[in-house]
Chain A
Amino acid sequence: DTGVSQDPRHKITKRGQNVTFRCDPISEHNRLYWYRQTLGQGPEFLTYFQNEAQLEKSRLLSDRFSAERPKGSFSTLEIQRTEQGDSAMYLCASSFSQMMNTEAFFGQGTRLTVV
């Protein structure tokens, strides 16, 4: 296992279309996070899973966004009816909860462009 894997790396979609991204965390990590990063900004938290339970969602996560982590393994982030403002880098990260305050390991991200 070489790290957090995200697919696809790039996605161009027309406004109004739905898109889905996948994240495969490091295998022994039970925590999984989604962040969004726009140009010139740091990553902003979207949502967090511990195993299969979604424990926290940011106010940034509108009702057009939904995330799942079936069986506590990989996760998907779906955006429905995409808008141009959704264009960003979507980052997935994972960590291991048995140790306090361990760092999260990030994937390479999925860059979404809505045209």
Chain B
Amino acid sequence: DQQVKQNSPSLSVQEGRISILNCDYTNSMFDYFLWYKKYPAEGPTFLISISSIKDKNEDGRFTVFLNKSAKHLSLHIVPSQPGDSAVYFCAAIYTGRRALTFGSGTRLQVQP
């Protein structure tokens, strides 16, 4: 039972344009959501997070949107840069449990 789903395995965008990565979840208990970025041969690196009491969190070029009613979150990267090319994982957690539940990832390729 996949509680966190990233239905797009890959995404390709042009440098300077917006990248939108999507994530859906099924467990209503999740109350905190995170995005991690992973380069080859490295561990995941934390990017940005959002609490379920918010619907938007912004950090520089990265913005995460949360739609609780739809159980959907998205990561926007504006403008996209070639260095953003990596695999992006959506993860979720709920109070009382300490383990993250990850999606399967979306490979983003930003073309120069």
Q: Which residues of A approach B to under 8 Å, CB–CB?
A: 4, 6, 31, 33, 35, 40-45, 48, 50, 55-56, 58, 91, 93, 95, 100-101, 103-109
A40 contact from B41, B42, B91, B104, Cβ within 8 A: B104
Flag whether B82 is at the interface (Cβ < 8 A). no
What residues of chain B lie closer than 8 Å to A33, measured between beta carbons?
A: 98-100
Q: Are B101 and A45 in contact (CB under 8 A)?
A: yes
Of the listed stretches B14-22, B45-53, B65-73, name the one at the interface; the rest are far from the partner chain. Answer: B45-53
Residue interface mask B19-56, A partner, CB < 8 A = 1: 00000000000011010100001111110010100000
Q: Are B43 and A107 in contact (CB under 8 A)?
A: yes
The verdict on A103 contacting B46 (CB below 8 Å), with A42-B103, A56-B98 known, is yes
Q: Are B89 and A45 in contact (CB under 8 A)?
A: no
Q: Are B102 and A108 in contact (CB under 8 A)?
A: no
Q: Are B104 and A41 in contact (CB under 8 A)?
A: yes
Supply 18 A–B pairs (Cβ within 8 Å), ascending by A.
Answer: A6-B43, A31-B98, A40-B105, A41-B104, A42-B4, A42-B89, A42-B91, A42-B103, A45-B101, A48-B98, A55-B98, A91-B44, A93-B43, A101-B51, A104-B46, A105-B46, A108-B42, A109-B42
CB contact list, B55-112 vs A, under 8 A: 89, 91, 93, 95, 97-105
Interchain residue pairs A-B with the least CB separation, the first 4 = A42-B102, A106-B43, A45-B99, A103-B46
What residues of chain A lie closer than 8 Å to B95, measured between beta carbons?
A: 100-101
Q: Are A109 and B43 in contact (CB under 8 A)?
A: yes
Which partner residue on chain B sits nearest A6 by CB separation?
A: B43
What residues of chain B lie closer than 8 Å to A95, measured between beta carbons?
A: 98
Which partner residue on chain A sits nearest B45 by CB separation?
A: A106
**Smallest CB–CB gap between A108 and chain B, Å?**
5
What residues of chain A lie closer than 8 Å to B36, measured between beta carbons?
A: 106
What residues of chain A lie closer than 8 Å to B97, measured between beta carbons?
A: 56
Which partner residue on chain B sits nearest A93 by CB separation?
A: B43
**Smallest CB–CB gap between B14 and chain A, Å?**
26
